[in-house]
Structure formats: C-alpha cells, structure tokens
Structure 1
Amino acid sequence: MELRYLKYFVTVAQTHHFTRAAEQLGIAQPPLSQQIKKLEQEIGAPLFDRSSRKVELTKVGETFYVDALNILNNVEQAKAKAKQMARGENTEVRIGFATSTAICNQVLSVMRQLREYFPEVNFVGVELPMHKLVEQLKEKQLDIAFKRLPCYACEQLEKRVLFEEPFIAVIPSTNPLAQRKHISLDELSIERLLLFPRETGPALYDEMTSLFTHRGIAINSQYAAPQLRSAVAMSQAGFGIAIVPRSLAEHLDDSARCTEIDDMPLVSQVVVAWEPNNFNHQVRKIIQRISKYQDGHI
C-alpha cells in the first residue's frame, strides 16, 4: 500500500467530495476515483458510501480513516525531525526518572537549570521503574535517565554520579524511636521494617538484605512496599519503619519522623545514565552540562 493512496483517501474523507479532493491534490478527478477503488480492492471492502451527492465514510472507512490519519501524521513528524537533525536543530530530548528520583529536590534543581540553559530544547519526561529505564535507554527510546545505584542492569550504560546520600529511617510518629534524632541498626532488630520486592531493585535489595541479615534484623515480606517512595507512604500510615535515601523524606508531614542511622554503611548514588552509542549532539551537550553539577557550576 502506497502512502499516496492514504493521502488521497484522507483528502476525500475530509472534503466529502471527489472533485474538491482532486482539486486540493492537484490531480484530475477520474484518476483519483481509480486510486480509491484500487485501495478498496486491496482492503476488500468499500470505504465510501457513494449513494448520495455527499460522499460519506462507511463503518470500515471510519475505522481506516483514524489509522490512515495517524500514519500520515507520523510520517510528517518523522520528516520534520529528520530535517531538524539535518540542520542541526534536533530539539527533543527524552528524559527518564526512576520513581525514587522523580521528586528529589536536587534532581529537580538540575532540571530547572537545564531548562534555563537550553530554552530551545523540548524536554520530554517519563517516570518508570529502574529496569524499564534501562530497557528504554538501550533501545534509544530514552536519551538520558536519572537513576540510583547500585543497579545490576546499568553496568553497560555510561553514568555520571551527581550526588550520594545516606539511608535514613522514616519512623511513624507513634513509635517511641521517632523522638530520637539518631538511632543504631541494632535498635531496628525488634522493629517492623518495610522493604520493597527484589524485582524493584535487585542490587539494592541484595545489599540491604545482606546487611540486615548480618546484623540480625528480620525482614517481613508481608509488609513489602512496591517502591522506595511508597515505603515512605506506608511508614506514614503506621505500617512500620522505612529505610530509604534521605531525599525521599524531604516532604514528610507530622505522621512520621526522619531519623539518622549512625552506623548505616550503605549510601545511595544518584546518577545520570545514557546509552554509549547515543550520538545525538544535543544529548551530549546536556550531559556535559550536567557533569558540571558536582562542581556547582551548572
């Protein structure tokens, strides 16, 4: 099926008239009618009801019109993007955010400053689980992503560490430990801890469970939270104590308290990651700009 058939079909559908459609297309009316008949033969059903003076779509035609219009629009968008790239004007950069970084103040600060520094760029953001971010980076559906380490799936990606932060305890206000500014890991051995399922973040899950097992701290999978961020919400609801990177507790209300863990050896690194073979010049410029964040010069 040729694209020009779709264009002919859509024009007739929009004008409801073969003669007017032919005038818009710059061709004679008889060849247009012949091309539409060939299209109908290829599909195996009539697309237009020609029984009245005004040409109307059949039920099959109505369905086909939606898809044909989408195809033509996608082709035009693809042509426009290709022309932009040929002129060095590709302005769309697709950014992914791990759920645990999407509301982090430092990440949001980086994005605000990038927006100011690259006003011509159309930043398109999505929030996805860690493994989905990696998949889309490798498939070039995303250009860069803000993620957390450790992450097994990230090993083949290029990464730049933005900052690291300690893990803290988010404790329900009704728990006596919430009145403390500092606690130790041993004090958590008799508490109900909230942890996410391993598939959410295998590397971090393995590090945390190894640490807790070594310190004699039991994890009850009955109280698993689907994400680090939802562990905070569950703690606020009184389900237990969440162990999360400090930035996830930036927006706590009075239902829970943020408490330092003095002997916590684990830290979380927030990184920007990208596929090594992404040669989009705009993406490279943005990565170079982000790399200055550690020096405070972004």
Structure 2
Amino acid sequence: MDIHKLNAFVAVVEESNISRAAVRLNMQQPPLTRIIKGLEDELNVQLLKRLPRGVEVTEAGKVLYQEALTILAHAQAIPQRVKNITQGLEGQLNIGFTNSVGLHPFLPALLRSFREAFPAVSIHLEEDGSNSLIDSISNDKNDIVFLRKPAPIGLGLNSLPVLDEPLIVAMPNNHPLAEQPDAIQLVALEPYDFVLYRRLAGQDLFDNIMASCYQAGFSPKIVQEAPRLTSSLNLIAAGIGLSIVPEAIRDFWNKQIVYKSLKAEPPCIAPIYAVYKDNPENVRLQHVLQLLGRQHHEIQSHNNQR
C-alpha cells in the first residue's frame, strides 16, 4: 500500500476535514479527495462518513488509521536505522572466547563498556576451543575472538596482545607446599601429582603449562585431567593433586584450596590475545578495538603503578 496514500488518509482523519488536511499536506482538495476515494475502492470499504462540515472515520477507517500510523512510523525510522547500522550503533557483535579466557575479569569489563557505549547493539557470545574459534573468524562467523595464543601465520588474521596473566599454583590446603610462605619455584612441583585442564578442551593453556614445565626441566606427572578449568578445582580440593592455573581462577574457589605464586625463568604467564580479521567496514569491530586499546592502556598504567 502506497505510503503517500496512507499519509494523506492519516491527515484527513486527524483534521476531520478534507480541506484542512489538504492545507496541511500542501495540496489541492480535489486530488486529496481522489486519494481517499481510491483507498476506499482499493479496500472495497467505506473509510470516512461525509458530514455537512467535515468527515467522520468509520470503524474500518479506525483500523486503517492505527495500522497506517505504525507503517508510517516504521518508514520514517528506516533512514536513521540504516545510518545507525553504518555507524555501528545497531546490529549484532559476535564474540568468541575459550573457557579460561572467559574466567578473566577483563572480558566482562569489556562487554560492560561496550554495552554502555552502544546499548542498541546486541552481543552474541560463543565459548569454544581455540581451533574452532580461529575457523569462526576465517569464516566470518565471529567478529573477534579471545585466545591464549596468537593466530597461526598465513591465515590473514590479526593478533592483538590484550594482557599477560600470571600462572599460579593451586593445591589442596593439606599439601606439603601449602605452608610455604613465599612464592614457589616451578621446579619444586616436579615430585607431585598434577591435575590439568584437558588439552582437548583447552589446548592453548595446556600447551602453555607444559612448555613452562619443560623449560623448568621436568615433565609434570598428570594423574587426572578435568573437562573444564573450574571442574579441576573440585579435584584439587579433593586432594587428587595440584595444578597450574591462571591467576583469575582464584576468585572462583578458595574452599580447601591454597593458591601460591610461581617463580620461574622465564616467568610463567598465560597471555590473552584478541584475534580478528582486518575489516574497516566492520564498524562494530572497530568500536571494540578502540575499547580494547583504552582497556589495555589502563591495565598497563595500573601495572606500572604497582
């Protein structure tokens, strides 16, 4: 149905007079009368009752009037919505992350900042393994993903360092090392049983931990693997063994578990990278990258003040 016809009909209903509606629409009365007559013929129903001094809308006309208001409002909003999409103020942002990254407070802080700055943009979150997340960027399923390693070379993807998270040791509170007051040398963990986050679920973190142990001169004795990083804490609390975990994990469980800093050379860290495909036309991605830049600067300033 023609937008201009609906706009003319709305003017007539609101003015209750064709002459006044014609003045409002800046047109002559005869063409306006023909428009209304054409609408009635098109719908095969009487929309207006002609009165000696004006018109009165019929029941069918009232229904058309309400529908016309909705259609016109939607039509008027279209240019602004298109502009909003172009400026990244609406639409959907797709973010992926591995399980261990999702436990770090930087991610909810980033999401909160983005939501405050761009409230009309919906955010879709996906937790998965690093290989699947890399594929999701290559296939344009996700706009940005957060991993414990940079993207493989040769895929045309960008890797932005976000932060370096220290690795710490988590152990049962009755462990022989639990009473040690200072940070624990990584090599001192060699004699003890390890509980680790399963490599299939957290390949990057698993490989990082194993590399740190190899550099310290030993291969950890793994007696149990857990399907998720947080579930490994149950096994540690039960006394199955100790584990090396990202520092942020200590905020999730401290019952029957003692956390200690680790000393090693090079330092034991679990970096976090933002991986994305360079696309200047993806304005929502550019907004995220700007927020990440500010967040990274704040983290660096905080670390420098320590």
Judge conservation of contact 1:160–1:291 (CA < 8 Å) in 2.
no
Other structure's SS at 1:268 match: strand
Structure 2 equivalent of residue 285 of structure 1? 287
Deviation at 1:217, TM superposition (A): 3.2
- Count of residues in correspondence between the two structures: 218
Structure 1 equivalent of residue 75 of structure 2? none
What is the alpha-carbon distance in structure 2 between the residues aligned to residue 150 and residue 237 of structure 1?
A: 35
Kindly report which structure 2 residues correspond to 1:166-245, keeping only aligned pairs within 5 A, or say none.
Answer: 166-181=166-181, 182-202=183-203, 204-245=205-246
Judge conservation of contact 1:232–1:248 (CA < 8 Å) in 2.
no
Judge conservation of contact 2:151–2:275 (CA < 8 Å) in 1.
no
Deviation at 1:221, TM superposition (A): 4.3
Other structure's SS at 2:106 match: helix
What is the alpha-carbon distance in structure 2 between the residues aligned to residue 87 and residue 223 of structure 1?
A: 49
TM-score after normalising by structure 1: 0.63
Gap change, CA 1:238 and 1:165, over 3 Å in 2: same
Structure 2 equivalent of residue 127 of structure 1? 127
1:49-97 deviation digits (Å, cap 9, x = unpaired)? xxxxxxxxxxxxxxxxxxxxxxxxxxxxxxx9xx848962642111112
Structure 2 equivalent of residue 255 of structure 1? 256
Judge conservation of contact 1:169–1:241 (CA < 8 Å) in 2.
yes
Other structure's SS at 1:93 match: strand
Deviation at 1:227, TM superposition (A): 4.0
Judge conservation of contact 1:169–1:258 (CA < 8 Å) in 2.
yes
Query: Which amino acid letter does the alignment assign opposite residue 146 of structure 1?
Result: F
Runs of 5+ consecutive residues of structure 1 not aligned to the other structure: 1-25, 27-79
Deviation at 1:244, TM superposition (A): 1.4
Judge conservation of contact 2:190–2:220 (CA < 8 Å) in 1.
no
Judge conservation of contact 1:152–1:203 (CA < 8 Å) in 2.
no
Deviation at 1:153, TM superposition (A): 7.9
Gap change, CA 1:277 and 1:230, over 3 Å in 2: farther
Runs of 5+ consecutive residues of structure 2 not aligned to the other structure: 1-41, 43-77, 300-306
What is the alpha-carbon distance in structure 2 between the residues aligned to residue 110 and residue 95 of structure 1?
A: 11
Judge conservation of contact 1:159–1:272 (CA < 8 Å) in 2.
yes
Percent identical residues: 22
Bigger Cα Rg? 2
| Structural RMSD (CA) | 3.0
Gap change, CA 1:286 and 1:151, over 3 Å in 2: closer
Deviation at 1:116, TM superposition (A): 0.9
What is the alpha-carbon distance in structure 2 between the residues aligned to residue 218 and residue 247 of structure 1?
A: 24
TM-score after normalising by structure 2: 0.62
